[in-house]
Structure 1
Amino acid sequence: MKLISIAELETLAKRPREVCVSIFLPTYHAGAETQQNPIRFRNLIRKAEELLIEHGCRSEDAKNLLEAVRTLDKYEFWQHQSHGLAIFRSQDFLQYYSLPLDFAELVIVSNHFYIKPLFPLFHGDGHFYILALSHDVIRLLKGTRYHIEEIDLTGVLPSLAEVLRFEEPERQTPSHMGTPGATGGRSAAPGGVTVFHGHGAGDEDEKENLSQYFHRVNQALREFLKEEHAPLVLAGVEYLLPIYRQANTYAYLLDASIIGNPKLMAPEELHAQAWEIVEPLFLQSQQEAMNQYKELLGTGKASSQIRETIPAAYQGRVDKLVVAVDRQLWGTFNPDTQTVEVHPDAELNDEDLLDLAATQTILNGGTVYAVESADMPDHTPVAAVFRY
């Protein structure tokens, strides 16, 4: 499963203004319940066709537009789903994402794609990394609240044998000298290099070998993550962690670690333990945005009014936006006059003003927090903090 990137989100938001169909449905990914997936899918396709006709499309044109979506409905397609499916269709464009989000069933037909249900994936740029350390294998995993995946480091990281063989061959210890000790041991890594993997008191040479190796790993990771500001969590047995920390220069390495042999842990286990470490950081960012909103409300630097927020979002003035992900606020916005009309119920050519505010905030470099209505400050559907 590949998560949608912020660049892909922006691509959806920048699509030319034309008839756009956005479909969201929850999906089962295991068990007998998977049989419900195609049934729900077909029902939503029928709903999309009805909405297209309501928006002025001829019946034949509506069917033709959705035909490419219907072709997805195959057995193989439904065997590779996560928790939710998002589909975006317009003339000459079709994109879909299987995502770790529990979507409510929803079909929106508008002149742009409806992307607000995707925003929980981007809370405070809420991704993190796990560096899983062992004496012969190093893995880098990228995670969010919902998902974890291993990153292919082929050609990025050197092996321990390469570092010791080519950098300091005089420091290598012949592998035949490795003998198990009472509190630690040695083993031959590829290339005949002895690797320390225990707690013996007389193993300074082996610790130095690992230190050299970890310095090279750190250099490679610094280059690989040079554009990143995401937290990094170490996972490994206790004796390896301080050796790597001494070598580390990545500014966002966290103090807390996952203790244990990561080779014996499934990615899901690493993800669960890492999320316990990083979740407070992401929640802190969201809470700070809400606190800032409350402090600035009434000063002209914050607003809970959609009529103020949407023009500000278009002008690039919204720095932080908290928006209710589970409700819609229907109406229209005229960019020429910068005026907003709010309607109690959806009318023809209306759009969700909350989605519009969130999309424009993202496009102009702001941060969006999409939360449940119950978690909104002051129980308003929108809370904005302005740059100026």
Structure 2
Amino acid sequence: MEYKDIPTKADIERIAAFREPGCVSIYLPTGTVPAEADRARIELKNHLAQAVKHLEDDGIPKTRIAAIAHEGESILEDRDFWRYQSRSLAVFLNGEVSETFRLPNRLGSSCDVSDRFYVKPLLRAVTFPQTALVLALAGNSVRLIRVSPEAPATTVDVPGMPRDVASAVGLSSVSGRTADGRIQGSEGQKVRLLEYVQAIDRALRPMLANSTEPLILAAAEPLIGIFRGANSYQHLVDQVIAGNPEEKTDEELAQAARLVLDAVYAKKIAALKEDFEARIAAGTALVDLSDIARAATYGAVEALIVDIEQRVPGTLDDETGAITLDAEDSPGNYGVVDEILRRSLASKAKIYALRAEDVPGGGVAAAAVRFPV
């Protein structure tokens, strides 16, 4: 059993690629206190019993049903796993695949048995992951704090990070010294601060080399402006946590960072919506679900926005993408939008799972396309 937390896009693509009868997808709200975890554990047990009955009714081989039931029991009996939960839990079982994800966003409870996994609820977690790094920068101290939605804030050990301004002096090639080596006046103080932030930037560079996490600065002037001038990390956030960070705990800074992230993501949604609306007007983006289904089937979807909450019961033709709508939603028939997602993921499209009011065109989906179909 492999336990993971927030899924990567590669995780979602892999899970979405499975296509065989007997795929069990379970979502349920959890919580971070023992009583909530106990309730969620009981709910998962009930979902597993329901899934086994569906599998039996669908004529799935008994050996596979037994394997799925065994993996489900392994999750239920893992006490360490239940000690550490987030806001929601996703479980995927089919006798070969057995994976869980502890998700930061609150999801409804559902149990689906079908010939593929139900992946749409996973997309919200990777659209806006709510993770960040906070650089708490003051003249007498500096610390890097990791912020995540499912765990308390933690201080990150950064090799080579200076302790304060005094320890950084002389670590940079910048010189503001007199002939005898002394630094004098306000100009000398600026040089000291510049040496300090340059040393910090160099220490952070190896750690952030392959990162795309937002970096939020918690500082006061003049360090804010000096750090921005020396910074080499392209994902430094414009908005800062103003004031002396030495007066705030890691968790207080994390709470402030989450508010900054909300603003960052709201700005990204607005820009994304504006871009899609321009592409819709230019004819390079689609809002009609039938057109989107066809484009996804032929690998033409470049970027897809979907309503995270709404289901559209129905199926897509394997060859043409033609939609057949069903009268009502039912277990195992989570339908059209999720299948469009699967096909778009297979062609490496970018996926954005948003609330209904943020979907361009006012429908359940919008798609920017690589070529007309």
Asked if the contact 1:317–1:386 (Cα under 8 Å) also holds between the matched residues in 2, the reply is yes
Structure 1 residue 247: Cα displacement:
1.7
CA contact (8 A) 1:100 1:147 kept: no
Q: 1:248 aligns with which of 202, 208, 231?
A: 231
Equivalent in the alignment of 1:99 = 103
1:307 Cα offset (Å): 2.4
CA distance in 2 between counterparts of 1:156 and 1:19 reads 52
- Counterpart in the other structure of 1:68: 71
| C-alpha deviation, 1:149, in angstroms | 5.1
State whether structure 2 residue 316 is matched by structure 1 residue 355. Answer: no
- Residues 84 and 103 of structure 1 are in contact (CA less than 8 Å); yes or no, is this contact kept in structure 2? yes
Q: Structure 1 residues 367-376 or 113-122, which shifts more? A: 367-376
CA distance in structure 2 between the partners assigned to 1:121 and 1:53 by the alignment: 32
Distance change in 2, residues 1:78/1:16 (3 Å): same
Output the amino acid matched with 1:30: V
Match of 2:58 in 1: 55
Is the CA contact 1:140–1:153 (under 8 Å) kept in the aligned structure 2? no
SS in 1 for 2:100: strand
Partner of 1:80 in structure 2?
84
What CA distance in whole angstroms lies between the structure 1 residues aligned with 2:365 and 2:207? Answer: 37
Please tell me the residue identity of whatever aligns with 1:94.
S
Identify the residue that residue 48 of structure 2 maps to in structure 1. Answer: 45
Is 1:27 equivalent to 2:44 in the alignment? no
1:179-258 counterparts in 2 under 5 A?
Answer: 202=185, 205=188, 207-228=190-211, 230-258=213-241
Q: Deviations over 1:241-293 (max 9, x none)?
A: 23322321333433431123434434443233223334333223323333444
Structure 1 unaligned regions, length at least 5: 173-200
Q: C-alpha deviations, 1:3-24, integer Å up to 9, x for none?
A: 3222322332234645321111
For 1:281, the aligned partner's letter is V
Partner of residue 283, structure 1: 266
Alignment partners' CA distance in 1, 2:310 and 2:283: 26
Task: Indicate the RMSD between aligned Cα atoms, in angstroms.
Answer: 3.5
2:296–2:343 Cα contact (<8 Å) kept: yes
Residue 317 of structure 1 and its aligned partner are, at CA, apart by 2.3
Report if the CA contact (8 A) 1:133-1:262 is conserved. Answer: yes
Total equivalences in the alignment: 358
Residues 98-149 of structure 1: per-residue CA shift (max 9 Å, x gap): 22111100112222222111111222677543222243332143557x7775
Matches for 1:114-129 after TM superposition, within 5 Å: 114-123=118-127, 128-129=132-133
Q: Distance in 2 between matches of 1:126 and 1:35?
A: 26
Correspondence 1:277-356 to 2 at 5 A: 277-297=260-280, 300-346=283-329, 350-356=333-339
CA contact (8 A) 2:294 2:320 kept: no
Unaligned runs of 5+ in 2: 178-183
Matched-pair identity in %: 25
Aligned-partner residue type, residue 199 of structure 2: R
Residue 143 of structure 2 is matched in structure 1 by 138
- CA separation in 2, counterparts of 1:80 and 1:4? 16
Relative to structure 1, the CA distance from residue 266 to residue 136 in structure 2 (aligned partners, 3 Å threshold; closer, same or farther) is: closer
Q: CA deviation at 1:62?
A: 2.1
- Residue 258 of structure 2 aligns with an amino acid whose one-letter code is W
Deviation at 1:319, TM superposition (A): 3.0
Report SS of the residue matched to 2:60: coil
Aligned pair in 2 of structure 1 residues 204, 310: CA closer, same or farther (>3 Å)? same
So what's the TM-score if we normalise by structure 2? 0.80
Question: 3-state SS of the aligned residue for 2:141?
Answer: coil
CA distance in 1, matches of 2:331, 2:38: 35
**Which letter does structure 2 place at the counterpart of 1:361?**
S
3-state SS in 1 of match to 2:310: coil
Kindly state the Cα deviation for residue 205 of structure 1 after the two structures are TM-superposed.
Answer: 4.8
The alpha carbon displacement at 1:371 in A equals 2.7
Any idea what SS the aligned residue of 1:71 has? helix
Letter aligned with residue 23 of structure 1:
I
Structure 1 pair 215–335 and aligned structure 2 pair: CA distance change class (3 A): same
Paired AA for residue 40 in structure 2:
N
**What SS does structure 2 have at the residue aligned with 1:345?**
coil
What corresponds to 1:383 in structure 2? 366
Question: Residues 49 and 97 from structure 1, CA distance in 2 versus in 1: closer, same or farther, beyond 3 angstroms?
Answer: same
- Deviation of residue 218 (structure 1)? 1.5
Letter in 2 for 1:369: Y
Shifted more, 107-116 versus 14-23: the winner is 14-23
